[in-house]
Amino acid sequence: MARDHDAARTGSSVDGAPLLRVRNLAVRLGGTEIVRHADLDLHRGQLVAVVGPNGAGKSTIVRAASGLLRPAAGTAEWDGTDVRRVGARRLARIRAFVPQRPQVPAGITAHEAVTIGRSAHVGALRRPGAADRAAVDRALERAAAGDLAERQLVTLSGGELQRVQLAVGLAQGAPALIADEPTSALDLGATATMARLLRSLADDGLGILLVVHDLALACAIADTVVVVEDGRTVAAGPPVEVLSTERLATTWRVDAALRTDDAGRTALHVGWLGALDDAPGRPLG
């Protein structure tokens, strides 16, 4: 059985203190409480996927944890320090944030964009040094974007641009990388490429926090899945336990099941035309 909300808060299967610890987080936007009670942990070498229905508050949680939105209550701590007490320059060295819809300025090459991503390590009156240039080249290679270095951003496909944005984040040299829907506009091949990159980065020791809609993808690459519903964390744990048929019915209101074959391929089997009139949770529609 998947751990329930309270049980998920009592510990982690990963050794050591977490890079990021979110507890009882609440966020208000425009006077509306978008997030009511969110909890999650992120450790080095771990890939955590935040999933949930549209409007559940997933992106708001990770943006608040990243320091891009101010929590109304609760805490988001990086290495034990509340995000509200971490300056912007230090925060950029702790975590990199890859947005869902990055800006694509005209006249900027991929290499120039990634160099800008290195700015947290370059003083205001300094030019990038040899170590910075090496870090930029390394970030492009790690993101499988080395061949795109001299291309202007406006000429890139969605998958190519997303790999460059990943390189921008990696150039920060932060131990944690947060990505909001990094595969939302990608085709199957580009999604698979991004999935392999993100999993390999976690295997190399980075803490990776993702917002994703694709539950089969989350099941395939995540160590931990955090389910958010109506602004609350309702379950957290290993994906095979958390993304059960019962959870899919309760949270997404569908008759569905996740399956993994012997080769590690995951698929979401959905009863598209079936109704769950007697299932608990939100009304249909």
Q: What is the mean pLDDT of residues 16-36?
A: 95
Report the C-alpha gap between 149 and 141 in whole angstroms: 10
DSSP annotation of 283: P
If pLDDT is split at 50, 70 and 90, which confidence band does 243 have? Answer: very high
How confident is the model at residue 15, as a pLDDT? 61
Report the C-alpha gap between 37 and 22 in whole angstroms: 10
pLDDT, tens digit (0-9, with 9 covering 90-100), for 182-235: 998 899 999 999 999 999 999 999 999 999 999 999 999 999 999 999 999 999
How confident is the model at residue 8, as a pLDDT? 36
Instruction: Count other C-beta atoms under 10 Å from residue 248's C-beta.
Output: 21
How confident is the model at residue 264, as a pLDDT? 87
How confident is the model at residue 13, as a pLDDT? 43
Mean of all residue pLDDT scores within the chain: 89
How confident is the model at residue 52, as a pLDDT? 97
Q: What is the mean pLDDT of residues 40-52?
A: 98
**Residue spans per domain, the chain:** 5-104+176-270
Judged against a pLDDT cut of 50, whether residue 6 lies above it is answered with no
Q: In this structure, are residues 59 and 10 in contact, taking their beta carbons and an 8 Å threshold?
A: no
Q: How far is CA 174 from the centre of its chain?
A: 14
Judged against a pLDDT cut of 60, whether residue 43 lies above it is answered with yes
Judged against a pLDDT cut of 50, whether residue 79 lies above it is answered with yes
Report the amino acid identity of residue 142: R
Fold of 5-104+176-270: Rossmann fold (3.40.50)
pLDDT, tens digit (0-9, with 9 covering 90-100), for 252-285: 999 999 999 999 899 999 999 876 665 444 433 3
Q: In this structure, are residues 276 and 254 in contact, taking their beta carbons and an 8 Å threshold?
A: yes
Judged against a pLDDT cut of 90, whether residue 29 lies above it is answered with yes
- Both tokens of 45, joined, read 């070498």
Whole-number Cα distances in Å, 189 to 83, 127, 143, 160: 36, 38, 15, 11
DSSP annotation of 275: -
Report the C-alpha gap between 141 and 44 in whole angstroms: 21
